[in-house]
Amino acid sequence: MKKSATSYRRARVSEERISIKIRLKYSDVSLFQRRFSPYMSQYGMFLPTRHLKNKGTPLFFEFFLANNQRVFYGEGTVVQLYPPDRYPTAGLGIRFTALDQRSQQLLMEILAQQTQRSDLVPKLSPGVIQDLSDAAPATQAPPPTATGRQPARATAGTSKVPTQQPVASSNTAQPWNVGKPNAPETPATPPPAAKELPLFYGKESEIEETGPIIGIDLGTTNSCCAIVEGNKPHVIPSRYGYNTIPSIVAYDERGNLLIGHPAKSQMMLNPHNTVYGSKRLVGRKYHSPIVQIIKNRFLYEIIETEKGDSGVRIDQSNFTLQEVSALILTEIKEIAQSYLEQPINRAVISVPAYYNDNQRQAVREAGLLAGLKVERIVNEPTAAALAYGFGRSLNQKLLVYDLGGGTFDASVLQIHKDVYEVISTGGNTFLGGVDFDSRLIDYVLDRFYEEHQINLRHDAVKMQRIKDAVEKAKCDLSHEVKTDLIIPYIDLKDGVPLDINLTLDREVLNSLVQDLVEETVRVCDAVLSAQNLKPQEIDEVILVGGQTRMPLIHQRLTDHFGKPPHRNVHPDEAVALGTAILAYSFGQSGLIKLVDVLAMSIGIGLPGGRFKVIAPRNHKLPFEKSYTISTTRDDQTELEIVVFQGESSNVADNEYLGTMKLQNIQKAPRGKAKFDITFHLNNECILKITAKDLQTGLVKELVLSTRDTPEDLRQKLEMPAPAPAEAVPPPIPTQPTSHIPPIEDTPAPSGGGVLGWIKKLLGRR
Ligand SMILES: Nc1ncnc2c1ncn2[C@@H]1O[C@H](COP(=O)(O)OP(=O)(O)OP(=O)(O)O)[C@@H](O)[C@H]1O
Ligand SMILES: [Mg+2]
């Protein structure tokens, strides 16, 4: 049923009607179709914006391509609000009330594409939308402007859709370049011939040590940047006006590199070329048990880099995860430069307290690739404690409970005025909001299977739609006790489109994730008991990370600690604000003193695959300890030390950090060539190992060679071969190896008698 042009004109004179003009950054209609497809249905669309209008507000909307062609226009009514504090992408749900004929045609094409992708037959009801074909000519939307220091925010009448702006390929090796927020893009950028990343591949010494130091929380899901100005820390908004940017990097179908919001908005259509959650993989060996277990959970391809690390393959090119993280840091750097109107060369970056040495090194490398000198790596809970306590002259024992998208950290700190001392720390780098989502996804998939006997797990696009909807439902359930999870046309059976349509209540969600919450409480208890502390001895529990908005977590912690958690720290911003405070303190000596501890023991592999701790967990940083090793064969010219991090007595369960090689040892009878090996951990927990030749007095700094494969390690450490899936393997006879040197029981300079039991072990050999 088409409405007449006359009635359309009558409708337009309504005084309350709001006009929204959206100017896109490209001139290609097919790109509009692809980008907006996830947001369109036959009845209406989702319009990303932070400028929300009341429900029921009538709208007149126009989308323009970069060449000024009006591509989609019509009228609608606001039917749903997605406020920024509750949804990852804020916006308006609009029901179409009128569309011009070309826009109707375009909408039908978009719906047809959606259905092709999910093998559905579209059912467009023509009567729903009116015809606007003879409507008023398009007025050109004014180009977006950047005013003063504020990054352009999404406002009606300016470019507002955070899906359109490919990242400027500024080369950070060159002098800085203040990005213009929302600057109009040259239309029709040709796809790049080869993947040249806008990264800096030079040395740290080439970066100037000038300009302000920014603080960066490089999160699994979202990243956040902050600065101290006028003695107060505050967040620097993204180029779209958000306080955080999604930690997502993608190549779109035209080869454009997208970072942050633009990458997130196209994720549903392009899941194989969109990298998210890279923080869980960065600095991890490809062959580590963890990567082998989780690699198939990602929709993009995880590969092994030349160095044996985990990397990713997107759009037919291979990248290291340092490069992926660096792209997110580059975006942050550009936002900060644009906001502060000066070059940014230095940053403090936070990492989970539970990150191992490789992961910390990887973040440093990522910082350098982004053209940033990383002034300090700081643990996230420590940064959150700084945001809580800075300038308040407190004397308190805090527990920082940080449950973000991908990691959980619990740390106990003693704040005494400006001294922040970590007493105990622990966590799990594989526990976060995504695990809560996974439980709910499984629940939804099971219900769908029960009803229709269809397994949706193998379709990446459908899974991405489900993930998106489930995460939104999970967040809704932090504010409401019930919510509807509706995903229209998720599949087709016997020619009939099938929807997911479930009412979820908070109780169901709570029951699905109860054990995850219990695991966090167990970690808190372990962190407390490591220092003989009881829950009642904690003065305040600070909640950090988006997932802590869940009421079940508040309830459980209130029960456990006998008091409700502190509410005045912003869960999304505290870590970034703390990094900014620390950065600020560098210019003012004595402003803040941080004393941190080692979150996970570091040690060496011994014959039989055992693990000997050299630096124990919770030891104060900096740390230094030495021991002596000697050759085991006549004329031996090479010695190796295999380093691991973790709490298991079995190296196979710990994270392999690398192998130290002592080469070109002067030939001598066995046991004559001796070395003092010293483990140094600096105050940001980065490991350096030195070897002093006791014959010559020469000191060598050892470099972690990271190329040992699991099989190399197995042989070096005389570990049994891994069990085949079903059969029990015959025992492997252990042969003494010449690679792994014995440790002498002569007292070490600072470490004390290393290991009576090693002697016993050696005695057995
Ligand atoms: N209202 C809410 N209720 C429940 N969970 C929420 C809510 N808002 C956000 N989350 C969840 O919080 C997580 C993101 O939190 P955050 O942005 O703090 O993570 P992150 O800092 O990127 O991750 P990490 O600190 O682990 O590296 C997501 O899993 C998201 O679903
Ligand atoms: Mg976080």
**pLDDT tens, position by position, 565-593:** 998 899 999 999 999 999 999 988 778 99
Phi, psi at 60, each rounded to 5°: -125, 115
Please report which confidence band the pLDDT of residue 295 belongs to, taking 50, 70 and 90 as the band edges.
Answer: confident
404 C-alpha to ligand 2 centroid (Å):
5
Q: Is 360 in the pocket of ligand 1 (CB under 6 A)?
A: no
| pLDDT value for 148 | 30
568 C-alpha to ligand 1 centroid (Å):
17
User: Which ligand is nearest the CA of 406, by number?
Assistant: 1
Q: Is 439 in the pocket of ligand 1 (CB under 6 A)?
A: no
Question: What number of other Cβ atoms are within 10 A of residue 763's Cβ?
Answer: 7
Buried b (16+ CB within 10 A) or exposed e, 167-182: beebebeeebeebbbb
User: Which ligand is nearest the CA of 407, by number?
Assistant: 1
Instruction: Flag the least confident range among 89-103, 204-218, 229-243, 721-735.
Output: 721-735
Side-chain half-sphere of 318: how many Cα atoms within 13 Å? 9
What's at 113, amino acid-wise? Q
CA dihedral (619, 622, 627, 632) in degrees, to 10, reads 100
Q: Is 550 in the pocket of ligand 1 (CB under 6 A)?
A: yes
User: Which ligand is nearest the CA of 85, by number?
Assistant: 1
Q: Is 548 in the pocket of ligand 1 (CB under 6 A)?
A: no
Q: Is 243 in the pocket of ligand 1 (CB under 6 A)?
A: no
| pLDDT value for 545 | 96
Q: What is the residue with the minimal CA distance to atom 3 of ligand 1? A: 475
Distance CA 161, CA 420 (A): 42
Residue-averaged pLDDT of the chain? 79
Q: Say yes or no to pLDDT of 124 above 70.
A: no
Asked if 577 and 235 touch (Cβ cutoff 8 Å), the reply is yes
Q: Is 279 in the pocket of ligand 1 (CB under 6 A)?
A: yes
Instruction: Flag the least confident range among 146-150, 238-242, 301-305, 393-397.
Output: 146-150
Distance CA 56, CA 98 (A): 15
219 C-alpha to ligand 2 centroid (Å):
5
Q: Is 476 in the pocket of ligand 1 (CB under 6 A)?
A: no
Task: Give mean pLDDT, residues 499-524.
Answer: 97
> For residue 16, what is the DSSP state?
T
* Between residues 222 and 287, the one the model is more confident about: 222
N residues, the chain: 765
Distance CA 625, CA 648 (A): 20
| pLDDT value for 46 | 79
Instruction: Flag the least confident range among 98-107, 302-311, 557-566.
Output: 98-107
| pLDDT value for 700 | 81
Residues bordering ligand 2, an ion, CB closer than 5 Å: 219, 404
750 C-alpha to ligand 2 centroid (Å):
36
Nearest CA-CA partner of 302 in 326, 320, 279, 289:
320
Per-residue model confidence as pLDDT tens digits over 155-173: 222 222 233 333 333 332 2
- Looking only at Cα atoms, what is the longest distance across the chain? 103
The DSSP string of 79-109 is EEEE-TTT-SS-EEEEEEEEE-HHHHHHHHH
Burial class (CB in 10 A: 0-12, 13-18, 19+), 680: middle
Distance CA 375, CA 75 (A): 52
- Atom number in ligand 1 closest to CA 407: 26
Q: Say yes or no to pLDDT of 152 above 50.
A: no
What's at 423, amino acid-wise? I
Task: List, in order of start, the domains of the chain with CATH numbers.
Answer: 5-131 (2.40.10.220), 204-391 (3.30.420.40), 602-721+734-764 (2.60.34.10)
Nearest CA-CA partner of 572 in 88, 197, 138:
88
**Structure tokens, 669:** 């009878």
Q: Is 411 in the pocket of ligand 1 (CB under 6 A)?
A: no
Asked if 332 and 151 touch (Cβ cutoff 8 Å), the reply is no
| pLDDT value for 738 | 28
468 C-alpha to ligand 1 centroid (Å):
13
Q: Is 88 in the pocket of ligand 1 (CB under 6 A)?
A: no
Element (H, E) at 32: helix 29-36
- Atom number in ligand 1 closest to CA 279: 27
Counting DSSP H helices and E strands in the chain, the numbers are 15, 34
Q: Is 432 in the pocket of ligand 1 (CB under 6 A)?
A: yes
| pLDDT value for 43 | 74
Q: Is 468 in the pocket of ligand 1 (CB under 6 A)?
A: no
- Atom number in ligand 1 closest to CA 478: 3
Mean pLDDT is highest, among 73-82, 306-315, 362-371, 458-467, for 362-371
Give the ranges where 341-397 is alpha helix by DSSP (H). 357-369, 380-389
The DSSP string of 277-324 is -GGGTTT-BTTSHHHHHHGGGSSSEEEE-TTSBEEEEETTEEEEHHHH
First to last CA, the chain: 89
Question: What number of other Cβ atoms are within 10 A of residue 143's Cβ?
Answer: 11
Asked if 255 and 196 touch (Cβ cutoff 8 Å), the reply is no
Phi, psi at 232, each rounded to 5°: -125, 135
The DSSP string of 721-751 is PPPPSSSPPPPPPP---SSSPPBP-SPPTTT
User: Which ligand is nearest the CA of 506, by number?
Assistant: 1
Q: Say yes or no to pLDDT of 254 above 90.
A: no
Q: What is the residue with the minimal CA distance to atom 5 of ligand 1? A: 547
- Atom number in ligand 1 closest to CA 575: 21
Nearest CA-CA partner of 473 in 426, 514, 505:
505
Q: Say yes or no to pLDDT of 302 above 80.
A: yes
| pLDDT value for 121 | 25
- In DSSP terms, 227 is beta-bridged to 234
Distance CA 375, CA 587 (A): 12
| pLDDT value for 564 | 97
- Atom number in ligand 1 closest to CA 432: 26
The DSSP string of 221-245 is SEEEEEEEETTEEEEPP-TTS-SSE
Distance CA 627, CA 233 (A): 45
| pLDDT value for 102 | 85
Task: Give mean pLDDT, residues 97-106.
Answer: 84
Q: Which of the listed residues 280, 428, 438, 475 should we mutate to test ligand 1's pocket, taking the one with most ligand atoms within 8 A of CB?
A: 475
Helix, strand and coil in the chain, % to nearest 5: 30, 30, 45
Asked if 215 and 226 touch (Cβ cutoff 8 Å), the reply is yes
Task: Give mean pLDDT, residues 428-448.
Answer: 94
User: Which ligand is nearest the CA of 470, by number?
Assistant: 1
Asked if 26 and 161 touch (Cβ cutoff 8 Å), the reply is no
- Atom number in ligand 1 closest to CA 434: 29
**Structure tokens, 499:** 């929807």
- Pairing mode, if any, of strands 655-662 and 674-681? unpaired
Distance CA 287, CA 642 (A): 16
| pLDDT value for 297 | 80
Please report which confidence band the pLDDT of residue 720 belongs to, taking 50, 70 and 90 as the band edges.
Answer: low
| pLDDT value for 113 | 66
525 C-alpha to ligand 2 centroid (Å):
21
- CA 641 to each of CA 599, 634, 735, 738, 742: distance values in angstroms, whole numbers, following the listed order: 22, 19, 18, 12, 10
Task: Give mean pLDDT, residues 258-279.
Answer: 91
Please report which confidence band the pLDDT of residue 380 belongs to, taking 50, 70 and 90 as the band edges.
Answer: very high
Q: Say yes or no to pLDDT of 743 above 60.
A: no
Q: Is 365 in the pocket of ligand 1 (CB under 6 A)?
A: no
Q: Say yes or no to pLDDT of 435 above 50.
A: yes
428 C-alpha to ligand 2 centroid (Å):
13
245 C-alpha to ligand 2 centroid (Å):
12
Give the ranges where 621-706 is alpha helix by DSSP (H). none
Instruction: For residue 462, give every residue at least 6 positions away whose Cβ sits within 8 Å of its Cβ, in sequence order, or none.
Output: 118, 456, 490, 491
Asked if 68 and 25 touch (Cβ cutoff 8 Å), the reply is no
Please report which confidence band the pLDDT of residue 543 belongs to, taking 50, 70 and 90 as the band edges.
Answer: very high
500 C-alpha to ligand 1 centroid (Å):
24
Please report which confidence band the pLDDT of residue 721 belongs to, taking 50, 70 and 90 as the band edges.
Answer: low
Per-residue model confidence as pLDDT tens digits over 25-52: 888 888 788 777 767 777 788 787 778 8
Instruction: For residue 749, give every residue at least 6 positions away whose Cβ sits within 8 Å of its Cβ, in sequence order, or none.
Output: 626, 676, 678
Q: What is the residue with the minimal CA distance to atom 12 of ligand 1? A: 546
Q: Is 404 in the pocket of ligand 1 (CB under 6 A)?
A: yes
70 C-alpha to ligand 1 centroid (Å):
38
Q: Is 371 in the pocket of ligand 1 (CB under 6 A)?
A: no
* Chain centroid offset of residue 260 CA: 11
| Positions marked catalytic | 217, 279, 380, 402
Percent of the chain with pLDDT over 90: 48
- CA 440 to each of CA 104, 264, 630, 715: distance values in angstroms, whole numbers, following the listed order: 36, 21, 55, 43
Helix (H, G, I), strand (E, B) or coil at 687: strand
Question: What number of other Cβ atoms are within 10 A of residue 10's Cβ?
Answer: 11
